[in-house]
Amino acid sequence: MSDVTLTTLQSLKQSGEKIAMLTCYDATFAHAASQAGVEVLLVGDSLGMVLQGHDSTLPVTVADMAYHVAGVKRGNQGALILVDLPFMAYATTEQCLHNCATLMQAGAHMVKLEGAGWLAEPIRLLAERGIPACAHLGLTPQAVNILGGYKVQGRQDAQARQMRADAIALEQAGACMLLLECVPSSLAAEISQAVKIPVIGIGAGAATDGQVLVLHDMLGLALSGRSPKFVKNFMTGQDSIAAALSAYVQAVKAVSFPAAEHCFSA
Ligand code: KIV
């Protein structure tokens, strides 16, 4: 695969070809996933849960993220590397710029920030300084304590209207990508139509421009033994991890994943 850039992702959106994204935290899986055709490797702060064993993403630090990005960079075979800014790493403008510099220098091609309309300001500053940013809307796990748990977002009309407006405002501020987590499929479809930038979904239906899953979940390795509704175990019926990764990419491209059973209604 030739190197995936922002231009590649924009072309995929325009052509209607779905984008395959997976979380990835080390060199070996970066090699395997990028070889399997995964276009975007997300070094997610979910590593706090699946690698470190915490019950949320809140304990993850910028140093943790930089360590894992550096490994992913070494194994990567041409995918775009998207990296989470962890909890409170972008609470102020100074922290945001400083921590983005650390992660970009460690190997990130794009950073991801969780929030809502308030992200317009940091995203505008980052865009001006040449740092592509992805805005993560809907269920934002860093805010689990204010959301009262890991729940579907945007089911009420007012919430849905606000999310649509935020998505458009963030695109105008310079966001290069949106990620929607646990959002009704109909709302995610509307947002994907309303913006020109690629929209990636997790628990957001089949009409987004691409899909992402947590690597350990799609390999059937959930620590609790229970997976969220939007997860499919791609190891089922496969005899190797490489085959499961390829099956995921094919299912995303063929729009056979997510199926109705993985989606949320309004
Ligand atoms: O940290 C992460 O893995 C994520 C995904 C759940 C999208 O943000």
Distance 36 CA to ligand 1 centre (A): 20
Q: What is the mean pLDDT of residues 76-97?
A: 98
Ligand 1: which residue has its CA nearest to atom 8?
Answer: 44
pLDDT band at residue 2 under the 50/70/90 scheme? confident
Atom 2 in ligand 1: residue holding the nearest Cα: 44
> Is any ligand 1 atom within 6 A of the Cβ of residue 46?
yes
Residue 212 in contact with ligand 1 by CB distance below 6 A: yes
pLDDT bin (cut points 50, 70, 90) of residue 130 is very high
pLDDT score at 226: 82
Helices (H) and strands (E) in the chain, counts: 11, 8
Per residue in 190-215, pLDDT tens? 999 999 999 999 999 999 999 999 99
> In this structure, what DSSP letter does residue 4 have?
P
Distance, CA of 166 to CA of 171 (rounded, Å): 9
CA 23 to ligand 1: nearest atom: 3
Q: Between the CA of residue 66 and those of 103, 133, 258, what are the distances in Å?
A: 6, 17, 31
Record the pTM: 0.98
44 C-beta closer than 6 A to ligand 1:
yes
For the chain, where are the alpha helices, taking DSSP H only?
Answer: 6-15, 27-35, 47-50, 62-75, 93-106, 120-128, 144-147, 157-173, 185-194, 215-218, 241-253
Q: Does residue 39 surpass a pLDDT of 90? A: yes
Q: Which listed residue (121, 128, 181, 261) is catalytic? A: 181
Ligand 1 center to 47 CA (angstroms): 9
- For 136-191, what is each residue's pLDDT tens digit? 999 999 999 999 999 999 999 999 999 999 999 999 999 999 999 999 999 999 99
| Residue 181: active-site member | yes
Q: Given phi > 0 = left and psi -120 to 50 = alpha, else beta, which region is 119?
A: alpha
